[in-house]
Structure 1
């Protein structure tokens, strides 16, 4: 029972998206504030700001999302379930979105389902109930926003067609800096090794193009 609404009266909208990441890694992003931080960086066309009003990412955390344009509308949710064993996270809407146009309940559930060793499925389910006096208008939550959020977690991956040992050889020393100097001339004006040869303790100065 949610806010006096029987669970059988709830309507549901479900979307699934496969990502090229182990379920454990995807869950680590979703289980706390990792996803909120990613939203803040990647969805600036949708969200003006995200603000943690209470908590540190555990159950009871309250987050406020302000949509673009600033002050136009917002949505506040509370983390109510974080189940590491089932990889399920539930958030309950406190105000805004569907709740502002006739819904009495809005719950978002993320479930991370293991598909293979290196892939998983992000299942997003919005459960909601409409107040009797708003039934004719048939208000619905913004599933497009949820889809955008899930999509950025998929786009946060980077697959490279090279053996891991070759990629590591590029990253472990000065190879990446040399590549940046050669390929990013429109961004990097110069790279200068102030100290070291690429090992621990190496100091590199990057000068950007004005």
Structure 2
């Protein structure tokens, strides 16, 4: 069984600025600074932020399910502003998923705003299809909202009255 969930989050910041935050390992820094107490902590295990980089995310205490996951960056497309990482250890893989991919795409809306499309793609055996109910975009949506808000505030300049 294959499935996916997707959510679009508006960001009041230019697509290039948002992509710089989401590409590579910058997103781990933002997760730690803005959401460490809500989602957890991320650390780079191996790599420089390109394809093949491995990041370990340790979830905040009280988060249901396995306490961590390791992901490997599989896609990093600067032209299309797409990043995808596959969970290779822990997380829902530990509970029986065959594949679990987190994908971010930054879409330019206009010169000063963009959309962060967060997608969870998964695969599991038909005999385990009840596990699909565990898939949620809540964490990636929260991450996109907080990073988008932070970048919008950072990018705004005071107007002279």
| TM-score category (smaller protein) | 0.7 to 0.9
Task: Give how far 1:59 is off.
Answer: 0.8
Asked if 1:102 corresponds to 2:96, the answer is yes
Task: Give how far 1:10 is off.
Answer: 2.3
Q: Indicate the RMSD between aligned Cα atoms, in angstroms.
A: 2.3
Partner of 2:9: 17
Alignment of 1:36-75 (within 5 A): 36-69=28-61, 73-75=67-69
Poorly superposed stretches of 4+, deviation over 2 Å: 46-49, 136-142, 159-163
Partner of 1:132: 126
Cα-to-partner distance string for 1:28-69 (whole Å, 9 max, x where unaligned): 111111111010111122344322110011111000011122
Asked if 1:117 corresponds to 2:111, the answer is yes
Cα-to-partner distance string for 1:74-97 (whole Å, 9 max, x where unaligned): 011111111111111111111222
Task: Give how far 1:70 is off.
Answer: 8.7
Q: 2:85 aligns with which of 78, 91, 98?
A: 91
Query: Using the alignment, how far apart are the partners of 1:63 and 1:13 within structure 2?
Result: 22
RCO greater where, 1 or 2, for CA within 8 Å and sep 6 or more? 2
Partner of 1:29: 21
* Gaps in structure 1 of 5+ consecutive residues: 1-8, 167-210
Query: Using the alignment, how far apart are the partners of 2:136 and 2:130 within structure 1?
Result: 18
* Residue aligned with 1:21, SS: coil
Q: TM-score, normalised by structure 1?
A: 0.68
* Residue aligned with 2:61, SS: coil
Cα-to-partner distance string for 1:129-188 (whole Å, 9 max, x where unaligned): 12233124434334211112111112212175732xx5xxxxxxxxxxxxxxxxxxxxxx
Q: TM-score, normalised by structure 2?
A: 0.87
* Gaps in structure 2 of 5+ consecutive residues: none
Q: 1:162 aligns with which of 147, 150, 158?
A: 158
Report if the CA contact (8 A) 2:11-2:145 is conserved. no
Call closer, same or farther: CA 1:43–1:132 in 2, change over 3 Å.
same
* Residue aligned with 1:94, SS: strand
Report if the CA contact (8 A) 2:39-2:139 is conserved. no
